[in-house]
Amino acid sequence: KIANIARLLEAVEPYEQERVGKVKERITDALEKTLSVDYDKNRLEQELIYYIEKLDINEEKQRLSNHLKYFISTLDSGSGQGKKLGFIAQEMGREINTLGSKSNHAEMQKIVVQMKDELEQIKEQVLNVM
């Protein structure tokens, strides 16, 4: 299940750049066609950078990857780790949820749902060993 989440995390990457391009396109189209407003291109670029930074998921991906590794190392360290594994799974859930809320892309959201499904199965297994 952990390997499945790691694989799904890698599957998110192709959609990241596509997502940024679509956001830029959607905003410029709205300004030019819908609002018919003359705008400062430098200001637009500043606003786009700000908006894209809010959608950046690199930190969440890194933290989730670290949690996955930590889960495996905790699992390998021996018995009596049930509660700790539960806490790590909870942290993984937080990162997956943040990925979902920042995704702004249908395919990425489908991947996030798959990650959540895998994580729920992990949580069930952890509860069985506690």
Q: C-alpha angle with apex 93: 91 to 94, nearest 5 degrees? A: 65
The yes-or-no verdict on residue 4 having pLDDT over 90 is: yes
Q: Which two tokens stand for residue 21?
A: 């391009």
CA–centroid distance for 128 within its chain? 27
**pLDDT band for position 130 (cuts 50, 70, 90):** low
pLDDT digits (tens, 9 = 90+) for 6-28: 999 999 988 887 877 777 787 77
What distance in Å separates the CA atoms of residue 104 and residue 55, rounded to the nearest whole number?
8
Helix/strand/coil percentages in the chain, nearest 5: 85, 0, 15
Task: Give phi and psi for 56, each to the nearest 5.
Answer: -65, 130
What are the domain boundaries of the chain?
2-129
pTM over 0.75: yes
The predicted structure's pLDDT at residue 113: 96
